[in-house]
Structure 1
């Protein structure tokens, strides 16, 4: 019998961390440099999403190795694991899973606290910037590594005056795992 999954708090305690303020300031410097280099807010949004995607494809291995979570049976269970364990393990916060559609293929992840935005105020020149787009890319990349193609978009953002940070996660398709065929001639 496999070991029981760890709680979000146990996972957070088991992961090596950098100082939260250093992490937040470093992320802010990256976003600022992208704005300087790319000049177009939409290009910065795409770059942050791609950076997050690349991170997510790698973080999922660490998450699976340290969490003892077994294969999720469906997208609903996967979303719950992301919200309660994944966010806690890597960011020290949890998310609420809400607003499911009738098919069970689309939901919202709502963060009441987001460590990426400490010390951040968006200037008027950055309207349209999805400052935390890195997170949507991380989720998209991690889901793809567990055979789920998803679309992740920001719905609400406290940097724009909303009351929470909300991402909409939509399962596009479940990709069957392919195993190489071995011919036993």
Structure 2
């Protein structure tokens, strides 16, 4: 009996590298298509949002995580389970306020920039990995949480770390998202 393709050793490494290279080509094309960095950033966020709304179902099925009871638990699940599962890294989580609704994910390594040395020339406001913010925001919305997700620091822009900020805004009305039977 043969093993399925996903069971081969190295499969995740190959698919991650392919994704990173393809992502780089996507950002390069968007930079050609849009003059303003803000337009590229918005497009990447919207694309990520669409991915996140679909990816959350796979995440919940594969991870077997239980219902979280605090924003802190959610931030830790995002870092320790989701990032590990899909990108092979585990960001550090820090809480940024006393209300415990703002968190930072500090990425020691960012797989999306593995083959990128610097931002494209003339693109100082480009948020190269804005796709990640959209993915997180879309996934959180699908589990009924509104959040503002932004890059706070980026090594590609000369910062000492890469930091994604997550500010939980409110719990959304679950009735709005229930399917009618």
Task: Name the TM-score class by shorter chain.
Answer: 0.7 to 0.9
CA–CA distance in structure 2, aligned partners of residues 89 and 180 of structure 1: 28
What is the match of residue 141 of structure 2?
144
Counterpart secondary structure, 1:19: helix
Q: What is the 5 A alignment of 1:8-23?
A: 17=12, 18-23=14-19
Deviation at 1:180, TM superposition (A): 7.3
Q: Tell me, yes or no, if structure 1 residue 25 matches structure 2 residue 21.
A: yes
Return the alpha-carbon distance in structure 2 between the equivalents of residues 181 and 151 of structure 1: 28
Alignment of 1:72-111 (within 5 A): 72-111=68-107
Q: Which ranges in structure 1 are unaligned for 5 or more consecutive residues?
A: 1-15
TM-score, normalization by structure 1: 0.85
**1:34 to partner: Cα distance:** 0.6
| Structure 1 range deviating more: 96-105 or 78-87 | 96-105
Q: Give the 3 Å change call, closer, same or farther, for CA 41–180 of structure 1 in structure 2.
A: closer
| SS of match in other structure, 1:125 | coil
Mapping of residues 1-185 of structure 1, within 5 Å:
17=12, 18-120=14-116, 121-178=118-175
Structure 1 residues 181 and 23, CA gap change in structure 2 (3 angstroms): closer
Q: Report the counterpart of residue 4 of structure 2 in structure 1.
A: none
Please report how far the alpha carbon of residue 181 of structure 1 lies from its aligned counterpart in structure 2 after TM superposition: 9.0
**Structure 1 stretches of at least 4 aligned residues deviating more than 6 Å after TM superposition:** none
Residue ranges of structure 2 left out of the alignment (5+ in a row): 1-10
Aligned residues: 168
RMSD: 1.8
